[in-house]
Amino acid sequence: MPGTLCTSAVFDGFLDVLGVAAALRTPVQLNRPSIKDYHTTFETIPDGAIVCGFSLCAIVAAHYADDVTAHTLILFGVNPFADDPEKEQPRLDLARDVVALGGAAALQKRAPDVYGPTPDKTRAQIYTMADASTNHIDDQTRLALTRSGALPALAKAQMPVLALTGSQDSSAPISQGIAAAQAAPNGQFSSLDGLGHFALLEDPDGCAETVMQMMEPQHDTV
């Protein structure tokens, strides 16, 4: 489940490292304007599936933490709180530019911070995804602006909840990931050292290694 102006490609490197076959991956497009519009999506998730969300889609997944029988819920760059009102105008400005210029050009004006060993490659991946998901920006913006907090749902989660945040993530700071993990009865948090909001693209190997460590039975919960 990818985030704003993203496609499922944000997970490709991470899932490749984990050895998840393409046939076992079920991408969910972020193309509906409210949390409740994803009810059917989560209703049809098979028991034992691993749900993995990034950014805005991590938020959507967190809202269904009490309504899905997944094996594990993995949230990258999650903010479990309602949207900050100060973000409203920047979100609307971005949506306007995306419609007028296209996703890549709109993001290039804002020069997203990226980290990891290959920042140029990461930026190119971000811009490619942005162009591919330009048509969904209005729905994504509406969802971001109107969503409530996800802590009540996380507090009733019956599956393990893993929250991971890049230590340099200014879009969804570490404190938000910790809050998400602490809300869940079986929650864990891990900081991805030296990485930012796009940690999945910046260092897919490191993200995969951290998730595998967190899923070991002896790992302490938050």
204: which 2 tokens? Answer: 């897919």
What pLDDT is recorded for position 219?
Answer: 46
- Please give the angle made by the CA atoms of 2, 62 and 199, to the nearest 5 degrees: 40
SS3 letters across 16-85: HHHCCCHHHCCCCCCCCCCHHHHHHHHHCCCCCCEEEEECHHHHHHHHCCCCCCCCEEEEECCCCCCCCH
What pLDDT is recorded for position 46?
Answer: 85
Residue type present at position 193: D
Packing angle of the helix pair 88-101, 137-146 (nearest 10 deg): 170
90: which 2 tokens? Answer: 């920047």
> Which residues, in sequence order, are CB contacts of 64 under 8 Å at separation 6+?
38, 39, 42, 153
What pLDDT is recorded for position 69?
Answer: 85
What pLDDT is recorded for position 180?
Answer: 97
Please identify, in words, the CATH class of the domain defined by 8-214: alpha beta
Q: From CA 173, how far away is CA 170, in angstroms rounded?
A: 5
What pLDDT is recorded for position 43?
Answer: 86
pLDDT in tens, the chain (222 residues): 899 999 999 999 999 999 999 999 999 989 999 999 999 888 888 888 999 999 999 999 999 999 888 899 999 999 999 999 999 999 999 999 999 999 999 999 998 999 999 999 999 999 999 999 999 999 999 999 999 999 999 999 999 999 999 999 999 999 999 999 999 999 999 999 999 999 999 999 999 999 999 998 644 444
Q: Domain locations in the chain? A: 8-214
The closest alpha carbon to 28, from 59, 1, 5, 3, belongs to 1
Tell me the percentage of the chain whose pLDDT exceeds 70.
97
End-to-end CA, the chain = 24
What pLDDT is recorded for position 44?
Answer: 86
Residue type present at position 80: P
